[in-house]
Amino acid sequence: MAGNTFGTLFSVNTFGESHGPALGVTIDGLPAGIKFDLDFIQSEMNRRRPGANSLGTTRNEGDEIEVISGVFEGYSTGCPITMIIKNTSQKSQDYSAIKDVFRPGHADYTYTEKFGIRDYRGGGRSSGRETSMRVAAGAVAKLLLKEIGINIKAGTIQIGDVKAKKLDFDHTFNNELSCPDEEAAILMRDKIKDAKDNLDSIGGIIECHVSGMLPGLGDPCFDKLDALLAHAILSIGACKGFEIGSGFESAKLYGSQNNDKMHVKDGKVTFDTNNAGGILGGISNGNNIIFRAAFKPTPSIYKEQETINKSLENVKIQIKGRHDPCIVPRAVVVVEAMTAIVLADRYLVWRAYESR
């Protein structure tokens, strides 16, 4: 049970390490005949790739997608699709400090406890670099969802204590944080730079909006759509919180305030508000899906820290390596990708077994 596969009818299996020769993904279940827009997939990879701007890690990778299988003359064949990217900017020698010493907040200790062996060249499989292939798979899922009019857009709404005030997701976000509020984005950028200058890191919150939803996706019991989304989003490294619709705020409300009043207008069902976040009883209600994901501050910081080593001695650690002072800007597209994978999967399940 190594937990590298996700999804049922649209299943995604990733492989590869941060400092190995390559990372890859195999997708099974994409129907034949979907136009395989490689430029779009590459543009999604570029939104996450390390080294793209000064807010992220200085590791600089091209993350150029190579398609190995499942595509012929520009269309999916219905057979497994395999894609890879080659690692080109490894500096594994920078990681001697973490060979036998566990970084606080990272997965070094738990991987060693579980497997007894750990690829200490960077984070190995626990590196955020693993999410590159989720983005590739998510881009393919988006190609399928585009055909049925489902659109997914995420943005940064909080860094540290700086919050976006304007939450209109209908316009283009012209900043590297994908923040809907351009003025707040300037303050957020400063917050990340301050953390970096102080040899520290900072966390934040991403909000995701899904429009064009059809009602009926998701199961009424264990595989509730909101539960599957929570699973997918919390499986992203450093994601520590998930809330849908009014989420934790709903605990402060009365039912009369939290219920989304329903009406029929021109023969169509409408909701006055969207406190449900587009899902009722585990099933999409046709309204936009809206959720938020909280990311902790990057664990690898350059300040000296107290920790332990493999011999169970108390030691100090001084991390070198190349790290993101904040994970959020690069995780925005990862959140979209995991959302797309869940929705593509549930759409195929609905189409195969459930549609009336």
Choose among ligand EPS, ligand FMN, none what residue 331 binds, the Cβ cut-off being 5 to 8 Å by kind.
ligand FMN
Give the number of other Cβ atoms within 10 Å of residue 300's Cβ. 24
Cβ-based neighbours of 310, under 8 Å, separated by 6 or more: 100, 101, 102, 112
Choose among ligand EPS, ligand FMN, none what residue 107 binds, the Cβ cut-off being 5 to 8 Å by kind.
ligand FMN
132 binds ligand EPS (CB under 6 A): yes
Q: Which of 25, 12, 32 is nearest to 74 (CA)?
A: 32
Tokens of 330: 């690069």
Task: Output the known binding site.
Answer: 48, 125-127, 281, 296-300, 322
Chain centroid, CA 247 distance in Å: 19
Dump the DSSP string for 13-56. Answer: EEEE-TTSSEEEEEEE-PPTT-B--HHHHHHHHHHH-TTSSTTS
Residues 143-182 that bind ligand EPS (CB under 6 A): none
Helices (H), the chain: 38-48, 108-115, 131-147, 182-197, 225-234, 255-258, 328-349
Residue 327 beta carbon to ligand FMN: minimum distance, rounded to whole angstroms: 5
- What Cα–Cα distance (Å) separates residue 227 from each residue in 23, 201, 236, 284, 349? 28, 30, 15, 12, 16
Residue 124 beta carbon to ligand FMN: minimum distance, rounded to whole angstroms: 10
Choose among ligand EPS, ligand FMN, none what residue 18 binds, the Cβ cut-off being 5 to 8 Å by kind.
ligand EPS
The residue (of 193 and 296) whose beta carbon lies closer to ligand FMN is: 296
Residue 23 beta carbon to ligand FMN: minimum distance, rounded to whole angstroms: 13
Residue 106 beta carbon to ligand EPS: minimum distance, rounded to whole angstroms: 6
Residues 31-90 that bind ligand FMN (CB under 6 A): 57
Binding site for ligand FMN (CB under 6 A): 57, 106-107, 123, 126-128, 131, 236-238, 296, 298-300, 323-324, 327, 330-331, 334
Binding site for ligand EPS (CB under 6 A): 18, 50, 57, 59, 61, 122-123, 127-129, 132, 237, 300, 321-324
